[in-house]
């Protein structure tokens, strides 16, 4: 049982002591996963909206595809991006491997299907409510997609959060394309993996607690914001 | 509507900027090394000294020796710092590396349950392995083409054990780095071959302790190799060479020597000058 | 009929999943205010949607004397999550007006329906009656030649219903043709010039309003009026 008490204490000590290296690691985790989620939203939300309101050949296939890609194993994504960015690979000349940029790319690839599929779901639900009125007003399908994206912005925040949660919690992709380099590409999850492999389980658990708390806090803030927005905009 | 498009575009570019900015324009080399050098804490001790001396940052990718060499073959690293002489010499012979230089050595130890059910304890690695096999005591292997794994396989062969024939549930091939393999051994109360450095820095020991040590055969040589710029023109030759030269220099060798855990020296410099 | 037909519906049919929802409907619409009545499931809403081009017929056609610009208001007002003003502006922007012009016309439209005070309020937070009037303003701002309404006050209280009727009257007075359905017989009496009575997907009769309520021509209409009148 004491094995479970110690991490709480260690976690508190780490945070209270404002350990600089811990701060760097947390900041890097946030930067990488936030950037990846942003890219996933910019890319995936319009696609998701078009999939919801559009009518074009292959639409059903695409829907199934994106739903399936939600379950992409992070380590597979990491491997694919690694092969792309490696010097021996097609994009090698940019020298992006083992950098935070590579990590952002890998996580963006991982998260985009999630954001796309969830956006499609949200917009499809909105579409049933808005369809007749928007068509009556003369909105084209693309215009309608854009309108619903903005109108559904609060529900879409859930999609973005889901994507972010997946990004910040994964270790397979960032480990492979980042290399877990001390001070450069070391994030919370890879640090936890490293400390675990060094046998320092209490420290690893403590870091895990910090990670969980961070994610919970972000979710709580988002929930509160949604509530405020609901009351404010209806 | 236009406003929203601009907003989205701004978000997208902000994202890429955030990412790009962290791809900082600092001077660095990429060194592919093994888990034993990282997890023993050697690099944490060694690299700051070099970085202050030369102003070059060293980015270490710590994998197993096999992976490190593969990374070198792909041109994703500038310098390799590994411990498998046979594989290293092959690497240079293939033209993938420029020159192999010896830097330091440490030794392997056999870790096992303090109760030593196979009675493997002693100074003889081959005899110890034979006894473990005879008793079919649980043994964890790294199975990941690392230097340690290569050494382990050599010892079995030298001990006259045919792993193919005598493989059974006692021999656990985990395919993992040193740390995770030690974790596995700890929870299974199994025997395992480890480098001394990682073991000394390892915290999850459970019921395990050093069972076999001191055999000359357990000597483990580390070498450093520059990836061949003729094959991979982008390799940072000048800075990479600076690192190599520093490692074999007096300062470098001394810094390696004074890395200790609990008063015990882990790595012994032996560069030929 | 005092005016020539602005729309001739010719044997219009809609079959969906084996059911004939609209069954060979033919009629000439020429009145300025037409109200479609009929029991539940008769096909009133479907007919309106066919005329508004939201649905496509399985057979038959619509023959317009000349193509009319249309707008439609639904039973439940569909408001975007923004201000009342922005909701009205949305329709205008779609039509191609500039931002400034859209804002001006939208302000005017809200003024005409008496909601200029609520222009900056979030539309979804308004009462049902107010939202429906915003929907009417949104439609009116587009200056449609034909306004179609599908049970516009079905979910409203009597006071809001009166406001909505007042607005419909004003829109009609400005020259727009009105085509609507309702369950409220009093409302039909108040607003219609002509009643189209539809039953089981077919047109049963088409009668000027006073005559329809006093002495309907068909027994189906008679039965309907008996059942609907409390």
DSSP letters spanning C134-177: HHHHHHHHT--SEEEEESTTTTS-HHHHHHHHHHHHHHHHTT-E
DSSP per position, A1-25: -HHHHHHHHHHHHHHHTT-HHHHHH
Q: Neighbours of A (≥3 Cβ pairs closer than 8 A)? A: B, C
**Averaged confidence pLDDT in chain C:** 93
CA B240: distance to chain centroid?
19
Q: Which alpha helices (H) appear in chain A, and where do they start and end?
A: 2-16, 20-53, 59-69, 74-85, 100-136, 141-151, 153-169, 172-178, 188-197, 201-233
Chain C residues with beta carbon closer than 8 angstroms to that of A55 = none
State the sign of the Cα–Cα–Cα–Cα dihedral B7, B10, B16, B18. Answer: negative
Predicted confidence (pLDDT) per residue in B69-97, tens digit: 999 999 999 999 999 999 999 999 999 99
> Residue A106's closest chain B neighbor by CA?
B19
Q: What is the pLDDT of residue B64?
A: 84
Pick the residue of C94, C121, C143 with the most A CBs within 10 A to test the interface with A by mutation: C94
Cβ contact (<8 Å) for A234 and C125? Answer: yes
Residue A122: which CATH number? 1.10.3720.10
Q: Using pLDDT thresholds of 50, 70 and 90, give the confidence band for residue A8.
A: confident
Which residue from A133, A233, A234 is facing C78, i.e. has the nearest CB? A133
Q: What is the pLDDT of residue C124?
A: 95
Calculate helix-pair angle for A141-151, A153-169, nearest 10 degrees: 70
**Domain ranges for chain C:** 1-69+179-230
Domain assignment present for residue A32? The answer is yes
User: Does A23 score more than 70 pLDDT?
Assistant: yes
Is B80 in contact with B227 (CB distance < 8 Å)? Answer: yes
Is C207 in contact with C197 (CB distance < 8 Å)? Answer: yes
Least confident of A4-18, A71-85, B42-56: A4-18
Range 54-73 of B in CB contact (< 8 A) with A: 59-62, 73
What element of type H or E holds C211?
helix C209-214
C72 to chain A, any CB pair closer than 8 A? The answer is yes
Cβ contact (<8 Å) for C95 and A136? Answer: no
Residue linked to tokens 């694919």: A80
Predicted confidence (pLDDT) per residue in A148-160, tens digit: 999 999 899 999 9
Q: Using pLDDT thresholds of 50, 70 and 90, give the confidence band for residue A47.
A: very high
Q: Nearest 5 degrees, angle CA B88-CA B99-CA B156?
A: 15
Predicted confidence (pLDDT) per residue in C36-51, tens digit: 999 988 899 999 999 9
Which residue from A133, A143, A232 is facing C74, i.e. has the nearest CB? A133
Q: What is the pLDDT of residue B40?
A: 86
Q: What is the pLDDT of residue A19?
A: 77
**Averaged confidence pLDDT in chain A:** 92
Least confident of A60-69, A102-111, B176-185, B243-252: B176-185
Q: How far apart are CA B65 and CA A188, in angstroms?
A: 25
Q: Using pLDDT thresholds of 50, 70 and 90, give the confidence band for residue A7.
A: confident
A184 to chain B, any CB pair closer than 8 A? The answer is yes
Predicted confidence (pLDDT) per residue in A118-154, tens digit: 999 999 999 999 999 999 999 999 999 999 999 999 8
- Tell which residue, A71, A67, A165, has the closest CA to residue A119: A67
- Enclosing domain of residue A86: 21-185
Q: Using pLDDT thresholds of 50, 70 and 90, give the confidence band for residue C77.
A: very high
Range 52-71 of C in CB contact (< 8 A) with A: 52, 54, 70-71
Q: What is the pLDDT of residue B2?
A: 47
- Tell which residue, A207, A166, A213, has the closest CA to residue A190: A207
Cβ contact (<8 Å) for A42 and B12? Answer: yes
Cβ contact (<8 Å) for C81 and A151? Answer: yes
Is B208 in contact with B113 (CB distance < 8 Å)? Answer: yes
> Residue B7's closest chain A neighbor by CA?
A42
For range A162-169, the mean pLDDT: 95
B44 to chain A, any CB pair closer than 8 A? The answer is yes
Portion of chain B with pLDDT greater than 70, in percent: 90
Predicted confidence (pLDDT) per residue in C85-143, tens digit: 999 999 999 999 999 999 999 999 999 999 999 999 999 999 999 999 999 999 999 99
Domain assignment present for residue A213? The answer is no
**Averaged confidence pLDDT in chain B:** 89
Q: Using pLDDT thresholds of 50, 70 and 90, give the confidence band for residue C1.
A: very low
B186 to chain A, any CB pair closer than 8 A? The answer is yes
Is B196 in contact with B109 (CB distance < 8 Å)? Answer: yes
CATH superfamily of domain region B107-218: Periplasmic binding protein-like II (3.40.190.10)
For range C193-200, the mean pLDDT: 94
- Tell which residue, C220, C161, C148, has the closest CA to residue C228: C220
pTM of this prediction exceeds 0.80: yes
> Residue B197's closest chain A neighbor by CA?
A198
For range B193-213, the mean pLDDT: 91
Please provide the distance, in angstroms rounded to a whole number, between the alpha carbons at the two ends of chain C: 30
- Cross-strand bridge partners of residue C181: C36, C150
Predicted confidence (pLDDT) per residue in B236-262, tens digit: 999 999 999 999 999 999 999 999 988
CATH of C1-69+179-230, one of 3.40.640.10, 3.40.50.300, 1.10.10.10, 3.50.50.60: 3.40.50.300
CATH of B26-106+220-269, one of 3.40.228.10, 3.40.190.10, 1.10.10.1150, 3.30.230.10: 3.40.190.10
Q: What is the pLDDT of residue B7?
A: 60
The total of structural domains in chain A comes to: 1
Chain A residues with beta carbon closer than 8 angstroms to that of B31 = none
Domain assignment present for residue A41? The answer is yes
Edge-first strand order for the sheet with C146-150 is C70-73, C146-150, C177-181, C33-37, C194-199, C202-208
Q: How far apart are CA C38 and CA C23, in angstroms?
A: 14
Chain A residues with beta carbon closer than 8 angstroms to that of B261 = none
Cβ contact (<8 Å) for A136 and C79? Answer: no
Which residue from C70, C78, C138 is facing A129, i.e. has the nearest CB? C78
Q: How far apart are CA B142 and CA B181, in angstroms?
A: 6
CB pairs under 8 A between A and B: 103
ipTM confidence score: 0.92
Predicted confidence (pLDDT) per residue in A81-108, tens digit: 999 999 999 999 999 999 999 999 999 9
User: Does A2 score more than 60 pLDDT?
Assistant: no
User: Which string of b and e fits B200-221 if b means at least 16 CB within 10 Å?
Assistant: bbbebeeebebbbbebeebebe
Domain assignment present for residue A197? The answer is no
């Amino acid at each position: 049982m004491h094995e479970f008490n110690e991490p709480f204490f260690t976690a508190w000590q780490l945070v209270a002591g404002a350990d600089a290296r811990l701060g760097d690691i947390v900041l890097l985790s946030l930067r990488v996963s936030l950037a990846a989620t942003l890219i996933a939203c910019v890319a995936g939300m319009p696609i998701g909206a078009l999939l919801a309101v559009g009518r074009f050949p292959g639409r059903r296939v695409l829907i199934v595809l994106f739903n399936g890609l939600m379950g992409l194993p992070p380590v597979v994504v990491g491997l694919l991006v690694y092969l792309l960015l490696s010097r021996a690979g097609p994009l090698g000349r940019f020298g992006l491997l083992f950098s935070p940029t590579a990590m952002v790319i890998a996580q963006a690839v991982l998260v985009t299907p999630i954001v796309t599929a969830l956006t499609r779901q949200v917009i499809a639900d909105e579409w049933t409510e808005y369809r007749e009125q928007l068509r009556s007003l003369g909105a084209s399908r693309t215009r309608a997609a854009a309108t619903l994206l903005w109108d559904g912005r609060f529900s879409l925040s859930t999609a973005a959060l889901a994507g972010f949660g997946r990004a910040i919690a994964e270790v397979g992709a960032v480990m492979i394309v980042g290399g877990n380099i001390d001070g450069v590409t070391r994030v919370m999850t890879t640090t936890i993996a490293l400390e675990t492999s060094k046998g320092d389980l209490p420290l690893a658990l403590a870091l895990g607690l910090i990670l969980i708390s961070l994610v919970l806090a972000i979710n709580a803030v988002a929930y509160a914001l949604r509530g405020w927005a609901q009351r404010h905009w209806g | 509507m236009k406003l929203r498009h601009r907003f989205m575009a701004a978000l997208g570019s902000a994202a890429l900027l955030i990412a790009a900015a962290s791809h900082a324009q600092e001077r660095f080399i990429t060194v592919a090394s093994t888990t034993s050098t990282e997890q023993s804490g050697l690099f944490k001790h060694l690299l700051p000294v070099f970085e202050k001396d030369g102003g070059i940052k060293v980015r270490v990718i710590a994998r197993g020796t096999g992976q490190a060499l593969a990374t070198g073959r792909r041109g994703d690293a500038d310098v390799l710092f590994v411990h498998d002489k046979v594989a290293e010499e092959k690497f240079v012979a293939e033209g993938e590396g420029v020159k192999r230089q010896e830097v330091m050595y440490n030794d392997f130890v056999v870790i096992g349950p303090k109760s030593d059910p196979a009675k493997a304890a002693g100074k003889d690695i081959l005899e110890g392995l034979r006894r473990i096999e005879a008793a079919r005591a649980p043994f964890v292997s790294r199975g990941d083409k690392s230097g340690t794994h290569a050494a382990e396989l050599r010892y079995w062969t030298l001990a006259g054990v045919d792993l193919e024939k005598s493989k059974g549930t006692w021999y656990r091939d985990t395919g993992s780095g040193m740390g995770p393999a030690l974790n596995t051994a700890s929870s299974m109360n199994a025997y395992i071959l480890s480098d001394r450095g990682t073991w000394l820095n390892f915290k999850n020991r459970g019921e395990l302790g050093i069972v076999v040590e001191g055999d000359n055969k357990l000597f483990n040589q580390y070498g450093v190799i520059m990836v061949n710029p003729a094959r991979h023109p982008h390799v940072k030759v000048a800075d990479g060479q600076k690192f190599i030269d520093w490692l074999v220099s007096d300062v470098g060798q001394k810094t390696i020597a004074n890395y200790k855990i609990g008063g015990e020296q882990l790595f012994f410099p032996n560069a030929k000058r | 009929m005092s005016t020539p037909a602005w729309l001739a519906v010719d044997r219009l049919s809609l079959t969906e999943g084996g059911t004939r929802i609209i069954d060979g409907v033919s009629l000439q619409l020429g009145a300025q205010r037409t109200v479609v009545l009929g029991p539940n499931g008769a096909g009133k809403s479907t007919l309106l949607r066919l005329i508004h081009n939201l649905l496509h017929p399985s057979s038959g056609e619509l023959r317009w004397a000349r193509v009319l610009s249309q707008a439609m208001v639904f039973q439940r007002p569909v408001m975007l999550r923004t201000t009342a003003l922005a909701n009205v502006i949305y329709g205008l922007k779609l039509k191609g007006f500039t931002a400034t012009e859209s804002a001006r016309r939208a302000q005017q439209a809200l003024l005409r329906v008496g909601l200029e005070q609520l222009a900056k309020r979030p539309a979804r937070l308004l009462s049902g009656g107010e939202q429906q009037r915003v929907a009417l303003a949104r439609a009116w701002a587009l200056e449609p030649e034909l306004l179609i309404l599908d049970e516009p006050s079905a979910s409203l209280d009597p006071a809001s219903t009166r406001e909505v009727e007042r607005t419909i009257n004003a829109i009609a007075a400005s020259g727009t043709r009105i085509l609507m359905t309702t369950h409220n017989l009093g409302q039909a009496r108040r607003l219609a010039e002509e009643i189209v009575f539809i039953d089981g997907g077919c047109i049963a009769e088409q009668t000027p309003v006073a005559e329809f309520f006093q002495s309907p021509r068909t027994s189906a209409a008679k039965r309907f009026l008996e059942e609907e009148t409390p």
